[in-house]
Amino acid sequence: MSEVTEKFIETYNANIQRQGADKLLTWLKTTDFFTAPASTRFHGSYEGGLVEHSLNVFHELSEEYDLYIKKALANVDSAKMNAESIAICGLLHDVCKANFYSVSMRNVKNEETGQWEKQPFYQVSDQFPYGHGEKSVFLIERFMRLHVDEAVAIRWHMGGFDDAVRGGCFAEGDAYDKYPLALLLHIADMKATHLDERIVSK
């Protein structure tokens, strides 16, 4: 078990005590969640990138929440936006990517030798085409009930990159207006992706 996987499990168990959480974690261990990449070629496109990204989003969401509370905005619902909700949304927003990628081979020219060599690469191989955020919500709720604000946050964490938004759906804006957790998760996801996980060769 890798160090980042151990950290994920430790964080998960320390913060998520909801009924069914143990069954969800057991299921995750039967998938490739802990070895999968976070994407095919953008951020975290290497083995273990997904679990690393999930931890990064959790940490960014925790910081965003702390900043939000310090502003003392009138619409803060501290009863719902607690440590467990932050852990659920941060750690589990991308469970839709479990069993989502496969490894294939392609020919790449070695610039030093001039020879063509087979190299592995990740490609999407979606066995359950159900969308992105909505798929994560569905998978989580097979084992553990989500609060409404958690479900909305996970559903819309992709923001303008969500296929429904690109198709003209306006529900994302309503979600961010009504549920601060949804906007904070999107911000945390973007910060983790574009600041914490700059494209690197691994």
pLDDT digits (tens, 9 = 90+) for 72-108: 555 555 434 689 999 999 999 999 999 988 877 777 7
- Show the domain range for 30: 3-98+134-196
Residue 125 has pLDDT above 70, yes or no: yes
Picking from 17-31, 33-47, 71-85, 113-127, which range would have the lowest pLDDT averaged per residue? 71-85
The pLDDT-based confidence of 201 (bands split at 50, 70, 90) is: very low
- Amino acid present at 107: N
- Residue 176 domain flag: yes
Residue pair 57/192 in contact (Cβ under 8 Å)? The answer is yes
Burial of 47 (0-12, 13-18, 19+ CB in 10 A): middle
Domain tally for the chain? 1
56 within some domain: yes
162 found inside a domain: yes
Q: Is residue 118 part of a domain?
A: no
* 186 lies in some domain: yes
Strands 101-109 and 116-124: antiparallel
Beta bridge partners of 31: none
DSSP letter at 77 equals -
Residue 120 lies in a domain: no
pTM above 0.85, yes or no: yes
Question: For the chain, what percent of residues have pLDDT higher than 70?
Answer: 91
Is the per-residue pLDDT at 198 higher than 60?
yes
